[in-house]
């Protein structure tokens, strides 16, 4: 059976077109960008981290800049769109390790899903090989995917972040930062696997993904020579301590910590060591519950009481009791007070326990004296093993932290919001050596892939980028203020991030990357080496021709800052002077970057770093704008590439063709919205494109007619075309790919269908369709370049459509009157259709249309004028019309009609009113001309049109009286 589409087996055909045109572009180096006289447009998108295949999310991320690049090129810009690969970082190293361990699940994904041969596995133990494979080698790789999608990338500038040239560039940059005093040394807690001897990232975890590290303050309670360090998240509550809790079932030890003698749970010892405490000489100790301890800061003396809820695994196993504000403490105390016999084994006086009263030190709106007691009572919690206590604690903490204030009696901190007092108390106590710090996971367990429990380790010697530096922040703010942000809502996020960002650890001791120039045992961390590489793109293709050993700081200083003398640098480095000058010219031509594109989840780090580093290194060449993308999901579900449940974009391209995938990705949502890949919609898109292709062919094939005269349908079509050009242009200028694609594909298709139905003269039609197609192809070219190139060639367009000029709106062809007439006809057809449906008449014999009589039209026009002017005095208007028309007989008809008319006109938007006013419409003429068309559309034998007051009209039901201007009365037989 013959297929309606002449694409034949459409899919195969599209793939052929893809390959053909990609080769053609390559052959003429169409996308290799060199500085010239044209205005430039330079855009980049975050280079991919090549830890796996390119999936549909990446497809969207990279198609947006390509569409924009193609659009700008057609607008006459010299466009630079480069691409590179990010190798730096731990996940690739982690993946290689997983291969080395032959983790079955991962190996399975690699071999069965990602097409890696078993025999090659050993090579994938090398992280560099792993990355290179997914960067360029694999059929699922980024390079292939991007080529198959027809991206207009200048591939000469491709590089990886571990290339020696790039490392020279990073070294240059980091020496600058170091010299500026923005690299500072410090320590910070990391997740650490004792067995691997390495920090671990979430990717390396078997269990505990997403678990955070929280900072506890250790309050130093003193008991003679001993110190009992009680861990708390709320140091400000020290003023409400009534006693200390220890768990009688726990093994406690006494340990020499620095110059102090600490008592902690046995489990805490290793933790303290990991966290940089020098712990020596540990011996078991029996807790004597008769001790009194001195509370730090307040110097009160309190007793030690037994409590089961105290967890030896959590922090130090020593806990201070603040019953007024900690539900656990309140319940534990209550239990002891109700069961004094439990105190006997410990030799504690029940009398003393009974006298313990909660001390309230925080007031919070919506709570009474003691929030902890309120909440415990409300939840009906009776004992300290009740799991609801967690929730109660969270509720009290949340409310007190957010809304609480320290009570006035609390010396020094009285009246302070809890959120501030917490830090103030902590800092004061730390300064006086009355407290220390310990880190703990926010949830347990956390287990490394090697099946070892992960601990918190304090890494000493860590190097930080000092984003806390106020001067730097100020520069970044200045840069931000000058930038165009898409979508604009992201501005607040950026501003907030600049304020909030502080020291960022910029070195790591594992993974691939560039050694820190001032301390080469460390590697520059992967986000930190990706902040200004957009500048590197401008010269990389030239740099590649130079021996990296020659790339001294002087070279980069010259190229990027114009510092020094080219001839001199040439003589010391042996780089030809012309080469140096050429690089300088390239940089000066392309920089600043016009738009940076990346995922909006990178605003809190990468994108803001990008601003910081530019503000410092290229203060006069800050990027002009940032576009932030949404994420992508699959059939409404999240993707996971480590589990292999992704749609590899390369496979999708092979299956549906590049243009189908591109248009789908661009037309469903705007770039900053979340994309949902739905297979059935992609398939529908493919059919749509095939339909478009065969429609285009059917337009191209018949020989062109000489320019015939245009009638209403032609005028309408041309006017609509202008509208689509206008909207698409505006949309693409604002990165609204969806809006643009909707107009240039779907809406234009709709209009063209209407036109083909409406067109009466075959010659005019052939001519018009060709004329529309010529524009249409150019409008679609950024989205579906392969198909458009092919059709462009077929219809004899000159050169590549990729290099053709973008269509311009021809104001002279905008014809609001023509548009009004068509929407009028549509309305008439709709009304008739509605009547047919309601009356369930299937095959009408005859349709009669009655156009409003002159007096109604005259009234209408006068009313229109008055309404357009603003206020309407119905009475005055009535008199005015009565006088003008000299009508007496239908006074009541007139007033009724006028009322309706005014109401209707008032509801009309002023724009439409204006058009109506200015355009001479002869309704009768319009309908007479369109009668044939209406007859065809309704599939009736006869359509008759009358004036409503035509005495000779055929009107058995006297419908004509219902006629109103722009709404003819209808009679159906």
Partner RNA sequence: GCGGGGGUAGCCAAGUCAGGUCAAAGGCGCCAGAUUUAGGGUCUGGUCCCGAAGGGGUUCGCAGGUUCGAAUCCUGUCCCCCGCACCA
Question: For residues 720-759, which are near RNA according to CB under 7 A?
Answer: 738-739, 742, 746-747, 750, 753
Query: What's the closest the beta carbon of residue 754 comes to RNA, in angstroms?
Result: 8
Which residues between 282 and 321 bind RNA (CB under 7 A)? none
Query: What's the closest the beta carbon of residue 686 comes to RNA, in angstroms?
Result: 9
Q: Which two tokens stand for residue 555?
A: 């070279």
Question: How far is 17 from 381, CA to CA, in rounded Å?
Answer: 72
Query: What's the closest the beta carbon of residue 548 comes to RNA, in angstroms?
Result: 23
840 binds RNA (CB under 7 A): yes
* Residue 449: CA count within 13 A, CB half-sphere: 21
- Judged by beta carbon, residue 298 or residue 688, the one nearer RNA is 688
Q: CA-CA distances (angstroms) from residue 278 to 149, 273, 437?
A: 58, 6, 14
- Among 23, 680, 709, 892, which residue sits at the site for RNA (rule: CB under 7 A)? 680
Q: Nearest-CA neighbor of 234 among 443, 369, 431, 399?
A: 399
- Judged by beta carbon, residue 264 or residue 483, the one nearer RNA is 483
Which residues between 114 and 173 bind RNA (CB under 7 A)? none
Q: Scanning the structure block, which residue is given the tokens 């009638």? A: 711
957 binds RNA (CB under 7 A): yes
- Judged by beta carbon, residue 828 or residue 894, the one nearer RNA is 828
Stretch that binds RNA, among 249-257, 340-348, 643-651, 676-684 (CB under 7 A): 676-684
Q: What is the DSSP letter of 704?
A: P
Q: Scanning the structure block, which residue is given the tokens 């009160």? A: 300
504 binds RNA (CB under 7 A): yes
- Among 128, 175, 251, 678, which residue sits at the site for RNA (rule: CB under 7 A)? 678
Letters for 521-560 (x = contact with RNA by CB under 7 A, - = none) are ----xxx---------------------------------
Which residues between 202 and 221 bind RNA (CB under 7 A)? 202, 212-213
501 binds RNA (CB under 7 A): yes
Query: What's the closest the beta carbon of residue 740 comes to RNA, in angstroms?
Result: 12
931 binds RNA (CB under 7 A): no
Q: Which two tokens stand for residue 483?
A: 């930038």
- Judged by beta carbon, residue 573 or residue 668, the one nearer RNA is 668
176 binds RNA (CB under 7 A): no
839 binds RNA (CB under 7 A): yes
Query: What's the closest the beta carbon of residue 315 comes to RNA, in angstroms?
Result: 19
- Judged by beta carbon, residue 379 or residue 835, the one nearer RNA is 835
276 binds RNA (CB under 7 A): no
- Among 508, 614, 662, 856, which residue sits at the site for RNA (rule: CB under 7 A)? 508
Question: How far is 737 from 730, CA to CA, in rounded Å?
Answer: 10
Give me the phi and psi of 197, to 5 degrees please: 70, 30
Q: Which two tokens stand for residue 21?
A: 């045109």
Which residues between 472 and 491 bind RNA (CB under 7 A)? 489-490
Query: What's the closest the beta carbon of residue 899 comes to RNA, in angstroms?
Result: 14
Question: How far is 962 from 973, CA to CA, in rounded Å?
Answer: 17
Which residues between 890 and 919 bind RNA (CB under 7 A)? 906-909, 911-912
- Among 256, 314, 337, 419, which residue sits at the site for RNA (rule: CB under 7 A)? 419
Cβ-Cβ contacts under 8 Å for 242 (sequence gap 6 or more): 302, 321, 322, 323, 329, 333, 356, 357, 358, 359
Contacts 24+ apart (CB under 8 A), 794-801: 794/697, 794/700, 795/700, 795/770, 800/24, 800/25, 800/28, 800/30, 801/777
- Among 65, 82, 91, 320, which residue sits at the site for RNA (rule: CB under 7 A)? 91
- Judged by beta carbon, residue 515 or residue 708, the one nearer RNA is 515
- Among 1, 117, 889, 951, which residue sits at the site for RNA (rule: CB under 7 A)? 1
Annotate 330-366 with DSSP letters as a single string: HHHHHHHHH-GGGGGGGT--HHHHHT------EE-TT
Query: What's the closest the beta carbon of residue 9 comes to RNA, in angstroms?
Result: 12
668 binds RNA (CB under 7 A): yes
Cβ-Cβ contacts under 8 Å for 500 (sequence gap 6 or more): none
> How many Cβ atoms from other residues are within 10 Å of residue 867's Cβ?
22
- Among 687, 808, 891, 896, which residue sits at the site for RNA (rule: CB under 7 A)? 687
Which residues between 370 and 399 bind RNA (CB under 7 A)? 398
Which residues between 625 and 644 bind RNA (CB under 7 A)? 636
Question: How far is 946 from 724, CA to CA, in rounded Å?
Answer: 36
Query: What's the closest the beta carbon of residue 260 comes to RNA, in angstroms?
Result: 27
Query: What's the closest the beta carbon of residue 210 comes to RNA, in angstroms?
Result: 8
Longest dimension (CA), the chain: 120
- Judged by beta carbon, residue 705 or residue 829, the one nearer RNA is 829
933 binds RNA (CB under 7 A): no
- Among 136, 156, 188, 251, which residue sits at the site for RNA (rule: CB under 7 A)? 188
515 binds RNA (CB under 7 A): no
- Among 123, 260, 484, 503, which residue sits at the site for RNA (rule: CB under 7 A)? 503
- Judged by beta carbon, residue 257 or residue 685, the one nearer RNA is 685
Query: What's the closest the beta carbon of residue 258 comes to RNA, in angstroms?
Result: 24
User: Would you call the peptide bond into 862 cis, given omega within 30 degrees of 0 as the criterion?
Assistant: no
- Is 673 in contact with 631 (CB distance < 8 Å)? no
Give me the phi and psi of 260, to 5 degrees please: -110, 160
Query: What's the closest the beta carbon of residue 887 comes to RNA, in angstroms?
Result: 22
Q: Which two tokens stand for residue 263?
A: 């008592």
Q: Nearest-CA neighbor of 815 among 938, 717, 921?
A: 717
Query: What's the closest the beta carbon of residue 464 comes to RNA, in angstroms?
Result: 7
Degrees, nearest 5: CA angle 241-247-249? 170
- Judged by beta carbon, residue 286 or residue 840, the one nearer RNA is 840
Cβ-Cβ contacts under 8 Å for 575 (sequence gap 6 or more): 546, 550, 555, 569
565 binds RNA (CB under 7 A): no
871 binds RNA (CB under 7 A): no
Query: What's the closest the beta carbon of residue 791 comes to RNA, in angstroms?
Result: 17
Size of residue set near RNA by CB under 7 A: 95
Using DSSP's 3-state secondary structure scheme, residue 89 falls into strand
Which residues between 797 and 836 bind RNA (CB under 7 A)? 828, 830-831, 833-835
Q: Which residues of 788-818 are buried (b: 16+ CB within 10 A; e: fewer)?
A: bbbbbbebebeebbbebebbebeeebbbebb
- Judged by beta carbon, residue 98 or residue 508, the one nearer RNA is 508
Give me the phi and psi of 78, to 5 degrees please: -85, 110
Query: What's the closest the beta carbon of residue 781 comes to RNA, in angstroms?
Result: 20
- Judged by beta carbon, residue 414 or residue 487, the one nearer RNA is 487
Query: What's the closest the beta carbon of residue 507 comes to RNA, in angstroms?
Result: 8
470 binds RNA (CB under 7 A): no
Which residues between 42 and 71 bind RNA (CB under 7 A)? 49, 51
- Cα R_g (the chain), whole angstroms: 38
Using DSSP's 3-state secondary structure scheme, residue 297 falls into coil
Query: What's the closest the beta carbon of residue 491 comes to RNA, in angstroms?
Result: 9
Question: How far is 893 from 598, CA to CA, in rounded Å?
Answer: 65
Annotate 441-479 with DSSP letters as a single string: ESSS--EETTS-B-EEEEEEEEEEEETT-HHHHHHHHHH
- Judged by beta carbon, residue 676 or residue 929, the one nearer RNA is 676
- Judged by beta carbon, residue 213 or residue 809, the one nearer RNA is 213
Degrees, nearest 5: CA angle 67-69-75? 105
Residues in the chain: 973
Which residues between 590 and 619 bind RNA (CB under 7 A)? 601-602, 604-606
């Amino acid at each position: 059976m013959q297929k309606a589409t002449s694409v034949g087996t459409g899919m195969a055909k599209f793939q052929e077109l893809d390959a053909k045109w990609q080769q053609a572009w390559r052959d003429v180096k169409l996308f290799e960008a060199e500085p010239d006289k044209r205005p430039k447009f330079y855009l980049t998108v975050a280079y991919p981290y090549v830890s796996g295949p390119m999936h549909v999310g990446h497809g969207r991320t990279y198609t947006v800049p390509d569409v924009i690049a193609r659009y700008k090129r057609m607008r006459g810009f010299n466009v630079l769109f480069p691409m590179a690969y990010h190798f730096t970082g731990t996940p690739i190293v982690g993946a290689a390790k997983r291969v080395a361990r032959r983790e079955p699940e991962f190996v399975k994904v690699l071999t069965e899903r990602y097409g890696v041969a078993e025999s090659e596995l050993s090579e994938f133990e090398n992280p560099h090989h792993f990355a290179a494979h997914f960067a360029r080698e694999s059929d699922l790789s980024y390079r292939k995917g991007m080529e198959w999608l027809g991206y207009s990338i200048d591939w000469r500038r491709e590089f990886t972040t571990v290339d020696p040239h790039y490392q020279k560039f990073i070294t240059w940059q980091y020496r600058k930062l170091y010299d500026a005093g923005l690299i500072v040394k410090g320590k910070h807690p990391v997740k650490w696997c004792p067995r691997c001897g390495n920090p671990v990232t979430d990717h390396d975890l078997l269990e505990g993904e997403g678990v955070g590290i929280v900072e506890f303050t250790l309050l130093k309670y003193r008991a003679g020579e001993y110190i009992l360090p009680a861990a708390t998240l709320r140091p400000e509550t020290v003023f409400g301590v009534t006693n200390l809790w220890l768990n009688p079932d726990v093994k406690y030890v006494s340990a020499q910590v620095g110059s102090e003698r600490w008592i902690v749970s046995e489990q805490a010892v290793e933790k303290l060591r990991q966290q940089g405490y020098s712990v020596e000489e540990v011996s078991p100790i029996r807790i004597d519950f008769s001790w009194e301890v001195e509370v730090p800061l307040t110097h009160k003396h309190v007793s030690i009481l037994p409590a089961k809820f105290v967890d030896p695994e959590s922090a130090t196993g020593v806990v201070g009791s603040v019953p007024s504000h900690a539900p656990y403490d309140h319940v534990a105390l209550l239990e002891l007070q109700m069961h004094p016999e439990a105190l006997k084994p410990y030799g504690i006086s029940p009398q003393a326990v009974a006298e313990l009263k909660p001390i309230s030190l925080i007031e919070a709106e919506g709570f009474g004296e003691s929030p902890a007691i309120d909440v415990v009572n409300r939840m009906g919690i009776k004992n300290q093993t009740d799991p609801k206590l967690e929730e109660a604690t969270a509720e009290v903490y949340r409310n007190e932290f957010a809304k609480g204030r320290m009570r006035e009696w609390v010396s020094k901190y009285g009246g302070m919001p809890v959120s501030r007092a917490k830090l103030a108390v902590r800092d004061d106590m730390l300064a006086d050596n009355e407290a220390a710090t310990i880190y703990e996971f926010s949830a347990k367990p956390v287990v490394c892939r090697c099946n070892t429990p992960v601990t918190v380790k304090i890494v000493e010697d860590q190097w930080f980028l000092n984003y806390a530096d106020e001067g730097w922040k100020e520069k970044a703010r200045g840069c931000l203020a000058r930038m165009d942000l898409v979508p604009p809502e992201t501005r607040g996020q950026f501003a907030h991030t600049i304020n909030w960002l502080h020291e960022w650890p910029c070195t790591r001791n594992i993974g691939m990357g560039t050694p820190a120039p001032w301390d080469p045992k460390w590697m520059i961390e992967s986000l930190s080496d990706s902040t200004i590489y957009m500048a590197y793109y401008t010269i990389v293709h030239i740099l590649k021709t130079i021996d990296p050993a020659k790339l001294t700081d002087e070279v980069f200083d010259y190229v990027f800052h114009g510092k020094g003398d080219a001839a001199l640098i040439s003589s010391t480095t042996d780089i030809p002077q012309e080469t140096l000058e050429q690089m300088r010219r390239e940089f000066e031509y392309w920089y600043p970057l016009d738009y940076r594109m990346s995922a909006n989840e990178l605003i809190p780090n990468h994108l803001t770093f990008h601003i910081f580093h530019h503000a410092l290194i290229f203060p006069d060449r800050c990027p002009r704008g940032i576009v932030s993308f949404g994420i992508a999901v699959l059939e409404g579900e999240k993707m996971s590439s480590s589990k292999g449940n992704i749609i590899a974009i390369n496979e999708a391209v092979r299956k549906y063709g590049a243009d189908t995938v591109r248009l789908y990705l661009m037309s469903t949502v705007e770039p900053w919205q979340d994309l949902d890949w739905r297979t059935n919609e992609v398939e529908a898109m493919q059919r749509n494109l095939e339909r478009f292709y065969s429609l285009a062919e059917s337009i191209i094939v018949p020989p062109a007619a000489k320019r015939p005269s245009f009638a209403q349908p032609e005028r309408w079509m041309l006017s609509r075309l202008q509208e689509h050009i206008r909207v698409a242009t505006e949309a693409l200028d604002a990165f609204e790919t969806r809006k643009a694609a909707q107009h240039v594909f779907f809406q234009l298709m709709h209009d063209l269908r209407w036109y083909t139905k409406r067109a009466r003269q075959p010659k005019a039609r052939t001519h018009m369709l060709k004329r529309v197609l010529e524009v249409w192809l150019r409008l679609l070219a950024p989205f579906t370049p392969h198909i458009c190139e092919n059709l462009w060639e077929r219809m004899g367009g000159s050169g590549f459509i990729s290099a053709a000029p973008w269509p311009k709106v021809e104001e002279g062809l905008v014809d609001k009157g023509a548009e009004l007439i068509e929407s009028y006809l549509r309305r008439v057809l709709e009304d008739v259709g509605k009547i047919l449906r309601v009356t369930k008449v299937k095959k009408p014999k005859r349709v009669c249309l009655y156009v409003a009589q002159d007096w109604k039209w005259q009234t209408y026009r006068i009313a229109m004028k008055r309404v357009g002017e603003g206020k309407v005095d119905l009475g005055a208007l009535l008199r005015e019309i009565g006088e003008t028309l000299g009508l007496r007989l239908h006074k009541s008809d007139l007033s009724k009609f006028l009322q309706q008319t005014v109401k209707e006109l008032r509801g009309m938007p002023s724009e439409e009113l204006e058009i109506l006013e200015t355009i001479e419409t002869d309704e009768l003429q319009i309908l007479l001309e369109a009668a044939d068309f209406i007859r065809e559309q309704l599939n009736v034998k006869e359509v008759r049109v009358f004036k409503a007051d035509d005495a000779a009209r055929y009107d058995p039901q006297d419908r004509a009286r219902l006629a109103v201007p722009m709404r003819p009365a209808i009679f159906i037989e």
